[in-house]
Amino acid sequence: MSEITLTINGKTCAGHQGDSILHIAQANGITIPNLCAHEAVARYGACGMCVVEVAGNPKLVRSCSIDAADGMVIQTNTARTLQARKIAMELLMSDHEGDCVAPCSLSCPAGTDCQGYVKQIALGDDRKAVEIIKQKLPLPASIGRVCPHPCEKDCRRQYAEQAVSIAMLKQFAADNDLASAEPYRAALAAPTGKTVGVIGGGPGGLTAAYFLALAGHSVTIYDAMPKMGGMLRYGIPEYRLPKKVLDSEIAAIAAMGVTMKNDVKIGKDVAFDDLRKAHDATLVAIGAWKSSAIGCVGEELPGVLGGIDFLRAVALGGKPDIGKRVAVVGGGNTAMDACRTAVRLGAEEVYVVYRRTRNEMPAEDVEITEAMEEGVTFKFLTNPAEIIGKDGRAAAVKLQVMELGEPDASGRRSPVPVKDKFEYLDVDTVIGAIGQKVSPIGFEEIALNSRGIIAADEHTYRTSLEGVFAVGDATNKGASIAIEAIGEANRAAGVIDSYLKGAMAAFAEPFVSERAVTDAVKAMIAEKPKAARATMPQRAPEARKHDFAEINLGLAEEVARAEAKRCLECGCHDYHDCKLIECANLQEIHPERVAGEKHEGYVEQALGCIERNQNKCILCNLCVRTCDEVAGKAILGLVGRGFKTVIRPEFHDPAVIADCANCHKCADACPTGALKILK
């Protein structure tokens, strides 16, 4: 074949007469998106993703099916080609029905591959499970103990009986790894010579330091407290998170070369501007350490404490004089930690005052149950109207009786005072646990939002100062759960890494396909063999409420392996190699705008060794062509006409189908994960 020369995106490219434009582009290192092209089969031109502009041709051409000609001038990424690909991809994805990743992973604020690590636990490989977890968070043993596991709320297993115990399994694998002779350690990139200062040694700061160190940067964490850990150390009691576990995971981060400096107060021990100038980039992750006010008369009296202040004092080794009767105001996990800590400090009567009912409490249900088991009394539908003093300190609480009205912005029914109806509680101490606020002292140079919280861009995490980024409870929406801060810190570390390399890239949430949970899907899952959810063994309430030893005893190995095997593996087996999702993320798409009727969806295993999922098929016909042209079997074919066309095996000759077990070429060629090799 004679040689030809053409110009693609301004680059001179050599090829041969008879080659397609796509082939020559690929041979010269130029990528043109495509889904239906494969070098082993004849040209087809089905997907429409590989369109390019050819000078002198008014129409877009499909580069996979057009012969290149000598002297052609081609542009691959013009406004027209991008728009055409966008429309083609939106049409394909509007008909695509499948979970790219499992719903548990989508619900995890850190994006942890829950399905991936649960599978490894089922297989008995805890080290591999921890490797997967640490791709997103560096504190699995700690977070496995304290995370309210939003992942489990969307676990599809709930439609059979109950969700998989994902958080417990994370703790199980992480504990086993920590106890092993050589705990998992990720490899560090080559040093970049760049330095990053991280202010705040809580879950967000530790996470950012971990991923920045992995990227090869020199990281120093500055923290105001005596030890690293932030709220994991000073806001969560020992009985929930033993500090030796947290210490082990922090030590692993320090072993990566991260420098940790404690008792450093910004604005007192070092000026923020000086610290900022000492580093190439700075991340602020100072958390929210100030207790919100209760908002009633008398809260300034001695004997009235903030929930965070109370827990911090105990964590520092103190034993606050709370007396025998304690009222904790609030309904979140901090309130549960405070009331249960008060029990352990010897209080004989401990009350939780909450203005709604148990159904509306934001605290985890298990936390509420455990508090009740330990003797805490819950005063639902009451709210402090006044804290009454005697002899100069709090002595009683006047409680306004409430009733539930209409739902508020959070979806919970609003508490409404019942006119002239009050109750009284005699107390020695009142602990307010109704929220946390940021104290920006020392950071006055950084712009705050209208709520007095650090303003940080939601995609770049940049503050108003050049080179200064911020994440976690101190930013934007305020205090949240630890896994939220961890997720933000991981993403921010990626942005900071790109910033230090001279081309800052904002974080963009990747597009994924999500399967609709219809009644039919629920019914299908409900037919799965039933397997009871594992329960965490605990110390008895009468024993545990007198000390701060960990109350959970951990899952036995056989229980953990069985629990992991309950996973339905909802996410696509081919996600990491899927060309369809790769193309879907080349530019922003909105398939919902062209949504309409979908193809007939079904899953079948007629070929025995391969599962076909028509919900994921894009009719690129690669499997049909590969079976015919490469394997020489022609087992597959297009069935039907028009929109209702599907791909099915054309006949069921046992001898021919037996050949499939040793072939798998159709599955290898499939660009979407519609074909899954079973054996």
Contact 433, 338 (CB under 8 A): yes
Residue 269 lies in a domain: yes
Contact 267, 356 (CB under 8 A): no
Q: How far apart are CA 356 and CA 466, in angstroms?
A: 44
Residue 576 lies in a domain: no
Block residue for tokens 């309130």: 335
User: Averaged over 50-77, what is the pLDDT?
Assistant: 96
Same domain, 367 and 333: yes
User: Averaged over 17-22, what is the pLDDT?
Assistant: 95
Same domain, 606 and 668: yes
Reply yes or no on whether the pLDDT at 656 is more than 90: no
**3-class SS at 480?**
coil
User: Averaged over 169-189, what is the pLDDT?
Assistant: 97
Q: What is the pLDDT of residues 464-523, one digit of tens each?
A: 999 999 999 999 888 899 999 999 999 999 999 999 999 999 999 999 999 989 998 999
Same domain, 428 and 523: no
Same domain, 24 and 159: no
Same domain, 425 and 558: no
- Total Cβ atoms within 10 A of residue 457: 16
How, if at all, do strands 349-354 and 377-380 pair?
A: parallel
Q: What is the pLDDT of residues 358-384, one digit of tens each?
A: 999 999 999 999 999 999 999 999 999
What is the per-residue pLDDT for 641? 83
CATH number of the domain to which 111 belongs: 1.10.1060.10
User: Averaged over 427-434, what is the pLDDT?
Assistant: 97
Reply yes or no on whether the pLDDT at 600 is more than 80: no
pLDDT band at 57 (very low <50, low <70, confident <90, very high): very high
pLDDT band at 16 (very low <50, low <70, confident <90, very high): very high
Q: How far apart are CA 335 and CA 352, in angstroms?
A: 8
Contact 413, 404 (CB under 8 A): yes
**3-class SS at 175?**
helix
From 436, 452, 479, give the residue that closes a domain: 436
pLDDT band at 108 (very low <50, low <70, confident <90, very high): very high
Same domain, 49 and 113: no
Same domain, 349 and 295: yes
CATH number of the domain to which 17 belongs: 3.10.20.740
Q: How far apart are CA 378 and CA 23, in angstroms?
A: 71
Provide the residue type at 333 as one letter.
N
Structure tokens at 416: 């409404």
From 59, 94, 129, give the residue that closes a domain: 94
Same domain, 21 and 55: yes
Residue (of 549, 389, 490) closest to 186 by Cα position: 490
Q: How far apart are CA 227 and CA 206, in angstroms?
A: 12
CATH number of the domain to which 633 belongs: 3.30.70.20
Q: What is the pLDDT of residues 253-277, one digit of tens each?
A: 999 999 999 999 999 999 999 999 9
Same domain, 443 and 482: yes
Same domain, 116 and 40: no
Reply yes or no on whether the pLDDT at 444 is more than 80: yes
Residue 590 lies in a domain: no
Residue 582 lies in a domain: no
User: Averaged over 297-323, what is the pLDDT?
Assistant: 96
Q: How far apart are CA 34 and CA 47, in angstroms?
A: 7
Q: How far apart are CA 332 and CA 502, in angstroms?
A: 43
How, if at all, do strands 51-54 and 11-16 pair?
A: unpaired
CATH number of the domain to which 386 belongs: 3.50.50.60
**3-class SS at 425?**
strand
Structural domain span for residue 25: 3-94
- Kindly report the pTM of this predicted structure: 0.93
Report the interhelical angle of 243-254 vs 166-179 (nearest 10°): 60
From 387, 412, 436, give the residue that closes a domain: 436
Reply yes or no on whether the pLDDT at 411 is more than 90: no
Q: What is the pLDDT of residues 133-174, one digit of tens each?
A: 999 999 999 999 999 999 999 999 999 999 999 999 999 999
The values of phi and psi at residue 20, to 5°, are -80, 160
Q: What is the pLDDT of residues 614-625, one digit of tens each?
A: 999 999 999 999
What is the per-residue pLDDT for 500? 98
What is the per-residue pLDDT for 668? 93
Residue 355 lies in a domain: yes
Residue 594 lies in a domain: no
Residue 569 lies in a domain: no
Residue 572 lies in a domain: no
**3-class SS at 116?**
helix
Q: What is the pLDDT of residues 556-581, one digit of tens each?
A: 999 999 999 999 999 999 999 999 99
Q: How many domains are there within the chain? A: 5
Contact 172, 554 (CB under 8 A): yes
The values of phi and psi at residue 212, to 5°, are -70, -35
Largest CA distance in the chain: 103
User: Averaged over 56-72, what is the pLDDT?
Assistant: 95
What is the per-residue pLDDT for 431? 98
User: Averaged over 331-357, what is the pLDDT?
Assistant: 97
Same domain, 492 and 627: no
pLDDT band at 651 (very low <50, low <70, confident <90, very high): low
What is the per-residue pLDDT for 1? 64
Residue (of 445, 451, 507, 501) closest to 477 by Cα position: 451
User: Averaged over 8-35, what is the pLDDT?
Assistant: 96
pLDDT band at 652 (very low <50, low <70, confident <90, very high): low
Same domain, 26 and 46: yes
